[in-house]
Amino acid sequence: MRFALIALILTICSAPAATAQNLQSILQTFTTEIAKPSRGTVGDTLDAIAASGLPQATPFLEQWSEKNVWQRNDGMFFIGLASGDTLALTDIDTQAISTAQKSDFKQLKPNGGVRRLIGTALVQFQLIDPDVSRRTTAVASIARRPEAAQLAPLLASIDPEVDASLKARKIQLANFLTARFAGGPVDRIAAIDSLSTDTSVEARAVLNLILTTTSGVASAQPTGNIAAILDPLDAPIVSYFALVDAGLAVAKQTPADIKRALEANIIDGRIAGFPLAQMDNAKTREAAYAALVDDGMVPTLITDTLRDATLTDHIFYELYDEPNATITAAAISALAAVDTRVATAKIADLTLDALSLASIFFLAAIGLAITFGVMGVINMAHGEFIMMGAYTGFVVQTFVSNYTVSLIIALPLAFAVTFGAGVVMERLVIRRLYHRPLETLLATFGISIALQQLAKNIFGTQARPLTSPDWLAGAWVFNDVIQISYIRIAIFVLALMFLCLIIHILKRTRLGLEVRAVTQNPGMASSMGIDPDRINMMTFGLGSGIAGIAGVAIGLYAKVTSEMGSDYIVQSFMTVVVGGVGNVWGTLAGAAMIGFGQKGIEWLNPSNTLAAQTYMILFVILFIQFRPKGIVALKGRAAGD
């Protein structure tokens, strides 16, 4: 009744308060209760303060809870701050400021229980405070420590709420409180049913709180809302301890207890007629103890057989703390529906993570798919072209402070830098090593080490930041389970763009036609007027340039260091080999396979990402044993080559 009255008053307290009464006069009515408050007596005082609807009630309650309220010797109350022997006083009603001697005042220090009640009353005021920050704080306070007394004022504050997001939060929180604390089962069940579609952690916590249980043991069938009947023989030792704690059985004797009992019954060098010299035999000790039991000298020995028989004679159970079985049944059904939704959401979230990882692998491998898959060149320095692209983005950001503009500049510039580096590398090294894979591997490996050392000399060994624009900050949140960062979405979109671009170049342009011709039959292409050397140079430069753009994208997501290329070179080669050498669609399939496979292994073993990568490499080794040409194998003359 008390809180219903408060809720009614709160709905109209936004109207002008009566000026005939001030807060001080109300406090004087409850002088004793305020000066020496307790949980049992302070309720009427808080009700009166709430019923006043006075705006000064909120700051008074705040200061009272903070122990900043002082009572003068004549009984008047003030808000005060002590400084030495003086007090800086603030009048509760007029807010007039004055000073006085501390000796003329007594500080009010409510205990923790009283402060909690004050906090509850304070939240009721704050829910309809004109300041939105105070209302937000009050809602957050209710969420941290929900109580039945908060439901009525929270419901009353929903309709007057003008902030849309805060109103939605109030409705959600009111639904949580209704499910737990509403007076009638109909309202509670309706609120519980509505939680079956809410996958938030708070909703699951509410349902679990409704389904809390208490374990017990009885000699007869228990009454109440039974959650489960337990089998005590599943954990006989623990169950017997519970039986002893409940006073339904005596404690099982330990070897030390048996020894003390035997020692206490030594008479003339014998125990129950058995000589002490025979007590070193376990069977003799058992026989002596059994004889003492027959004589009534010691309690019956609790053997494992007797213990288990005693356990089966009793009923071990769990009772719901909620006495209404209909409510717990609704909560069980809702929680099962929520668990199903959460499991589905986790699968969707894992799929998004796998797509994101696959897009990163695809970006890193698409350039290698051209240089290795099309040209047959094993370029161990491909990862360093990714590193060069990332450092290009970092250099651009040092000169262009606008991250969006710097990103727009960095992408084509990274392509140009790495395209040029690739052309130089092809002209100076690669062209002399065609059809000599071992020498090519060693030469490019040496170049990769040289490029790493060059990057360390220029940029140092410390990781450099490559900051994403504000519009890429944060994540796209579907619910409490499914979310993906905007950077990963951007990388995914970029991977799709490059897939379309590469396919267009290879299928719809003269360069692509010439690349395919040189790949399938260099001699015939040369006889048709195509310069294989120029095509090889352009192809290698194109693959290197794409690696540079991939470096900018990956740098927004991962660390930018001189060794960052090494983190992706193995996955890039695996992607190309598994997908099918010389096929862009194969590279896409390989990236998807490795991305989904690695995320699946991480889901099974989430504490060790390195182990997931290792298992993935082992899986790839086994896969190529059964399908050596990859997922999408080349056909025709190219396959024969």
Of all residues in the chain, the percent with pLDDT exceeding 90 is 19
Reported as a single tens digit per residue, the pLDDT across 494-505 is: 888 888 888 888
Q: What pLDDT sits at residue 606?
A: 66
Q: What pLDDT sits at residue 636?
A: 42
Q: What pLDDT sits at residue 564?
A: 86
Q: What pLDDT sits at residue 587?
A: 84
Do residues 87 and 81 make contact, with C-beta atoms less than 8 angstroms apart? yes
Helix then strand then coil, in percent of the chain rounded to 5, is 65, 10, 25
Query: Which of 420, 414, 356 lies closest to 388 in space, CA to CA?
Result: 414
Q: What pLDDT sits at residue 7?
A: 44
Bigger pLDDT: 256 or 612? Answer: 256
What is the distance between the alpha carbons of residues 308 and 247, in angstroms, rounded to a whole number? 17
Across the beta sheet with 69-72, what order do the strands follow? 97-101, 86-91, 77-83, 69-72, 105-107
What values do phi and psi take at 282, rounded to 5? -65, -40
Q: Which of 88-102, 218-232, 285-299, 382-396 has the lowest mean pLDDT?
A: 285-299
Is the pTM of the predicted complex or chain greater than 0.85? no
What is the distance between the alpha carbons of residues 157 and 135, in angstroms, rounded to a whole number? 10
Burial category of 24 from C-beta neighbours within 10 Å (exposed 0-12, middle 13-18, buried 19 and up): middle
Q: What pLDDT sits at residue 638?
A: 44
Residue 634: is its pLDDT beyond 60?
no
What is the distance between the alpha carbons of residues 377 and 262, in angstroms, rounded to a whole number? 87
Mean pLDDT for all residues in the chain: 84
Do residues 243 and 314 make contact, with C-beta atoms less than 8 angstroms apart? yes
| Mean predicted confidence (pLDDT) in 382-406 | 90
Reported as a single tens digit per residue, the pLDDT across 178-197 is: 999 988 899 999 999 999 98
What is the distance between the alpha carbons of residues 201 and 198, in angstroms, rounded to a whole number? 9
At 331, the pLDDT band (50, 70, 90 cuts) reads: very high
Reported as a single tens digit per residue, the pLDDT across 86-122 is: 889 899 888 888 888 888 889 888 888 888 888 777 7
Residue 621: is its pLDDT beyond 80?
yes
At 373, the pLDDT band (50, 70, 90 cuts) reads: low
Residue 74: is its pLDDT beyond 80?
yes
Query: Which of 132, 101, 131, 120 lies closest to 47 in space, CA to CA?
Result: 120
Beta carbons within 8 Å of 182's beta carbon, 6+ residues apart? 151, 188, 191
Reported as a single tens digit per residue, the pLDDT across 468-519 is: 888 888 778 777 778 888 888 888 888 888 888 888 887 888 888 887 787 7
Query: Which of 58, 64, 67 lies closest to 122 in space, CA to CA?
Result: 58
| Mean predicted confidence (pLDDT) in 266-287 | 83
Q: Which residue has the tokens 């129950």?
A: 272
- As beta bridge partners, residue 106 has 71
Q: What pLDDT sits at residue 254?
A: 83
Reported as a single tens digit per residue, the pLDDT across 422-479 is: 999 988 988 888 778 888 889 989 999 999 999 999 988 888 888 888 888 877 877 7
At 563, the pLDDT band (50, 70, 90 cuts) reads: confident
What is the distance between the alpha carbons of residues 473 and 471, in angstroms, rounded to a whole number? 6
Q: What pLDDT sits at residue 10?
A: 43
For 38, the token pair is: 């307790």
**What angle in degrees, to the nearest 10, is found between the helix axes of 584-604 and 325-368?**
140
- Sign, CA dihedral 624-628-630-631, equals negative
Q: What pLDDT sits at residue 582?
A: 64
In the chain, ranges of CATH 1.10.3470 domains: 343-640
Do residues 216 and 319 make contact, with C-beta atoms less than 8 angstroms apart? yes
Q: What pLDDT sits at residue 6?
A: 44
Q: What angle do CA 180, 184, 186 make, to 5 degrees?
A: 90
Reported as a single tens digit per residue, the pLDDT across 148-180 is: 888 888 888 899 888 899 999 999 999 999 999
What is the distance between the alpha carbons of residues 169 and 136, in angstroms, rounded to a whole number? 9
Beta-carbon count within 10 A of 535 CB? 22
| Mean predicted confidence (pLDDT) in 600-605 | 80
Beta-carbon count within 10 A of 637 CB? 11
Reported as a single tens digit per residue, the pLDDT across 9-59 is: 444 343 343 334 688 888 888 888 888 888 878 888 888 887 777 888 888
Q: What pLDDT sits at residue 632?
A: 74
Amino acid at the residue 7 = A
Burial category of 392 from C-beta neighbours within 10 Å (exposed 0-12, middle 13-18, buried 19 and up): buried
Query: Which of 394, 385, 393 lies closest to 423 in space, CA to CA?
Result: 385
Per DSSP, the chain holds a count of helices (H) and strands (E) of: 27, 13
At 328, the pLDDT band (50, 70, 90 cuts) reads: very high
Query: Which of 542, 543, 544, 551 lies closest to 386 in space, CA to CA?
Result: 551
Contacts 24+ apart (CB under 8 A), 285-291: 285/258, 288/262, 289/258, 289/261, 289/262
Q: What are the Cα distances from residue 579, in Å, to 482, 511, 617?
A: 29, 23, 14
What is the distance between the alpha carbons of residues 341 and 344, in angstroms, rounded to a whole number? 5
- CATH match of 343-640 with 1.10.3470: yes
For 409, the token pair is: 């500049």
Q: What are the Cα distances from residue 88, in Å, to 27, 82, 105, 433?
A: 20, 6, 12, 88
Of all residues in the chain, the percent with pLDDT exceeding 70 is 94
Q: What pLDDT sits at residue 189?
A: 93
Q: What are the Cα distances from residue 638, in Å, to 16, 511, 522, 629?
A: 88, 18, 11, 12
- As beta bridge partners, residue 177 has none
DSSP code at position 71: E
Q: What pLDDT sits at residue 424?
A: 92
